[in-house]
A and B are shown apart, each in its own frame.
Chain A
Amino acid sequence: AQSVTQLGSHVSVSEGALVLLRCNYSSSVPPYLFWYVQYPNQGLQLLLKYTTGATLVKGINGFEAEFKKSETSFHLTKPSAHMSDAAEYFCAVSRMDSNYQLIWGAGTKLIIKP
């Protein structure tokens, strides 16, 4: 069975500091991997995704993530945090053979300190 683990329900960084949100997955077949962002009182919005090809993927708002098969990880990074990045971030995995159904991590709330 597939599963997704996000380390840390809350991550706090200072404005301008590096953002690192961790995601590890388990899957018996090559997965598709996603990061979604949820701003307060809003729906979820796709930040970036990995399907095939280049393992470093770039998303919106300066975020990027690297698929590391050997570590079964898909960590999300941003070099310099901005106050507007405060939100909850969800990692998800899907498989083409399961109709792209998404299995979700529990989410990480990113807090930006001024």
Chain B
Amino acid sequence: NAGVTQTPKFRILKIGQSMTLQCAQDMNHNYMYWYRQDPGMGLKLIYYSVGAGITDKGEVPNGYNVSRSTTEDFPLRLELAAPSQTSVYFCASRAGSTDTQYFGPGTRLTVL
């Protein structure tokens, strides 16, 4: 099992550009999550999904969009990148029967 994978590892964007952060898991987990991690702030939930075709907003969804067309994939889209979106982004997943989330290695995004 690869677990939770994320691409790219690093990315630099210019203000106003768009991009998609990819997340995939091979554990057949129903639940998937996107977090951002800012220094000294802990993790903030952006969006989550309870299964294919079902997504919902977390604590800080503004400026982001998600989709969940398959169980395995949960991409995060930034439409108009802003400097405030400079952060490290983590994807996580968990099985419906457990309370433990498994994390990917993260994507470090800088918006200049």
Contacts and interface: CB of A to CB of B under 8 A. Distances in A.
Interface of A: 4, 9, 32, 34, 36, 42-46, 49, 51, 90, 94, 96, 99-102, 104-107
Contacts, number: 50
A104 B43 contact: yes
A44 B48 contact: no
29 contacts: A32-B99, A34-B100, A36-B103, A42-B105, A42-B106, A43-B4, A43-B90, A43-B103, A44-B43, A44-B92, A46-B100, A46-B101, A49-B99, A51-B99, A90-B42, A94-B99, A99-B50, A100-B31, A100-B94, A100-B99, A100-B101, A101-B45, A101-B48, A102-B45, A104-B42, A104-B44, A105-B42, A107-B40, A107-B42
A40 B106 CA distance: 11
Given A46-B100, A94-B99, A106 B40 contact: yes
Contacts of A106: 40-42
Interface residues of B, number: 22
A104 B92 CA distance: 14
